[in-house]
Amino acid sequence: MIKKKITAMFFCYRLIDFRLLLTSGIFKNCSNKMRIVVIVPKSSFNECKKILPKDIIVRILNHKIAKQESYKANQKTKLENFLRNILSLTYANNPNYKKCLSPEPQRSAFFNSESSKGLIKKLSSMVVIFLSFIGSNFFFVRKFIQFLLFFLLKNSSHKKLYEEFNPDITIVGSMGLDADAQVIWEAKNNKVKTLVINQSWDRTVCKGYPVIHPDYHLVWNYHMKFESMYYLDMPKNSIFIEGAAIWDYIFKKDGLRDKYSFFSAMNLDVSKKTVYYPLTPLFWHDELLKNLDQFKLAKINKKISNKIQIIFRVHPYYWIAPEKIRNQLFSKLKKLEDIKGFFVDYNKVIGTKDSYILKPEDQEFLVNVYHHSDICISVLSSSMMEMIFCGKPSINYVFGKLKMRGQEIQAKDYFLHHINHLYSFKIIKNVHVFNDIIYELNNIDNFSIDKKLQEKVINSEISYNRGTASKAYANRILSLAKLKKNNY
């Protein structure tokens, strides 16, 4: 009798999940240990298949991506969206752990967004917010909402795939965001174990309560484990700390070049102080356009010291943003390209107008820019973390308007939990007006990282499997896949 090969099935309806699993090496390391099947949207199928190792099987996602406010939605979908909205604003309050800071700004943005759509939407939003408040305080309310949603998630969209591959474990990137909820439901219905891999530094504190709980959850560090336990009600024994696979490359240093050759390729001066500016996604789009104009004028008018050069990097989200929005940004950046001392990185991508994916070699640029830049300027970006890991300081913009759920809020009022966690280390310099950025950059020699604070951040965020997390993930996935299905 031929022994069945252990099979893990990854569902990646978000390209960012696919990119992180690819570039972190999780796909590759898993494929060395078991059979891997990757499910992606039809629009991304050809690009994903082209870029994945040949031994990985690629199939097409059959779930439609939910549109929360579709005017064509039937009553079932409207009810599902209503219940999802409640959970998206819900975080369990637990007397044994600190209160999550994310609900307040999220509820405010949701109310403002819905109120602009008329009286009925305004009243409905008030009910959603009230129920999210009640749900945050009472476990049975959270579970009752999940219970109602459970029946709405019913589907057999991938019946043929389950019959063909008979997977041992199904893996997604969230606890029920959009299509992931249907994926988890279908896997459970097929008596297949389910696993969520935490893909982002904010996923445990910014995406609300699970629409449906998986069997297991992989997180990066202890505080994420506690957040999963106390805010999301995941059982302690179902959460595994395996490090941050997406940051492995920072410590492995694969593709790291000498500073001279890296800077020469960008026509930059190795002797000058280098500022890395990772641009924001759409939540700061209008402000970003203004900000780039301000940098252009500051450079032309010689307000920026001649000893400073800046690397601007497009946020990958712009490759899947509406073409009009992308063109607005790119037209601004084109005007910066001709300015000496400015370099614009547009990412290394593969794909079509409907589906862009970052190539693995794009990470080589990142590892070099983090290790060879002197300082980072950021708008609430995790790039500040990468710079700290490399012993470099960061300056964070806390000004202008942000967009949350389509509504504008002031950056100074943006107190989401993960941002406050970063601030708690007192290692980030905040600035509140553009002129302060110029002042700080012109005094760049005054900046340095306190080694004790740096080590404190590293120990908090990536104390486990530093540089080898993707291998640890593969080992954990294999061990979970091999477990007997006692719970089914």
What pLDDT is recorded for position 71? Answer: 46
What pLDDT is recorded for position 354? Answer: 66
**Torsion sign over Cα 181, 61, 247, 419:** negative
CB 315 within 8 A of CB 285: no
CB 213 within 8 A of CB 57: no
d(CA 348, CA 345): 8
pLDDT digits (tens, 9 = 90+) for 132-183: 999 999 999 999 999 999 999 999 999 999 999 999 999 999 998 888 999 9
Task: Determine the distance from the C-alpha atom of residue 362 to the mean position of all C-alpha atoms in its chain, rounded to a whole number.
Answer: 17
Kindly state the tokens that stand for 201: 């530094």
Task: Give the number of other Cβ atoms within 10 Å of residue 20's Cβ.
Answer: 19
Is 1's pLDDT higher than 70? Answer: no
The model carries a pTM of 0.92
Angle at 35 between CA 32 and CA 40, to 5 degrees: 110
pLDDT digits (tens, 9 = 90+) for 91-128: 999 998 999 999 988 898 899 889 888 999 999 999 99
CB 216 within 8 A of CB 225: no
pLDDT digits (tens, 9 = 90+) for 335-374: 999 999 999 999 998 877 667 888 878 999 999 999 999 9
Q: Which of 135, 220, 130, 145 is nearest to 418 (CA)?
A: 220
d(CA 250, CA 368): 9
d(CA 219, CA 210): 15
pLDDT digits (tens, 9 = 90+) for 442-473: 999 999 999 999 999 999 999 899 999 999 99
Bridge pairing between strands 375-378 and 394-397: parallel
pLDDT digits (tens, 9 = 90+) for 34-63: 999 999 999 889 989 989 999 999 999 997
d(CA 457, CA 221): 11
Q: Half-sphere exposure of 292 toward its Cβ, with a 13 Å CA cutoff? A: 27
d(CA 56, CA 129): 43
d(CA 180, CA 183): 5
Bridge pairing between strands 349-352 and 355-358: antiparallel
pLDDT confidence tier of residue 217, bands split at 50, 70 and 90 = very high
Q: Which residue has the tokens 């710079």?
A: 387
Kindly state the tokens that stand for 196: 């969520």
**Torsion sign over Cα 361, 367, 373, 379:** positive
Q: Half-sphere exposure of 43 toward its Cβ, with a 13 Å CA cutoff? A: 13
Is 70's pLDDT higher than 50? Answer: no
Q: Which of 268, 348, 278, 286 is nearest to 312 (CA)?
A: 278
**Sequence-ordered list of residues with C-beta below 8 angstroms from that of 456, at least 6 positions apart, any chain:** 425
